[in-house]
Amino acid sequence: MEFVDLPSGAPLGLGGMPFEAIELELAEGSPLVLYTDGLIEDRHRDIDSGLEQLRDVLPGRVAQWDLPCDPATRRPSPASAPRHRWGTRYTPNAKIIWTEQPLPRAS
């Protein structure tokens, strides 16, 4: 598992702000995990400690998370995603997205 060094920018969802795009090459079937800083950092844990904890637990844990499902799609509800427990503390502002779906190839 490796962390990609990304340029910092405006928070996601804040429209009208410039941003720098990057391209990554992933092997087919490789997982891609996107997360907010609320998952890895808080007043009790610095970023480096949070990243190491994520590196230690992520491979065996994300697929086992049992988030409430939207009855229409049987997929985790976006509203439930930030309400998981991480370690022993409740993290209301953390979001994580996990995918192993192949990304579309550029034409």
The total number of structural domains that make up the chain: 1
DSSP state of 27: -
The pLDDT of residue 42: 78
Q: Does 8 fall in a domain?
A: no
Please indicate whether residue 3 or residue 37 has the higher confidence score (pLDDT). Answer: 3
Asked if the model's pLDDT at residue 31 lies above 60, the reply is yes
Asked if the model's pLDDT at residue 19 lies above 60, the reply is yes
**Helices in the chain by DSSP H: which ranges?**
37-40, 47-61
Confidence of residue 104 (pLDDT cuts 50, 70, 90): low
Q: Does 60 fall in a domain?
A: yes
Range of the domain at 53: 32-99
Q: Does 1 fall in a domain?
A: no
Q: Does 79 fall in a domain?
A: yes
pLDDT in tens, 51-86: 888 888 776 555 444 444 555 555 544 444 434 444
Residue tagged 């994580």 (tokens): 96
Please indicate whether residue 88 or residue 2 has the higher confidence score (pLDDT). Answer: 2
State whether residue 29 is helix, strand or coil: coil
Q: Which residues of 16-46 are buried (b: 16+ CB within 10 A; e: fewer)?
A: eeeeeeeeeeeeeeeeebebbebbbbeeebe
Q: Does 82 fall in a domain?
A: yes
Q: Does 78 fall in a domain?
A: yes
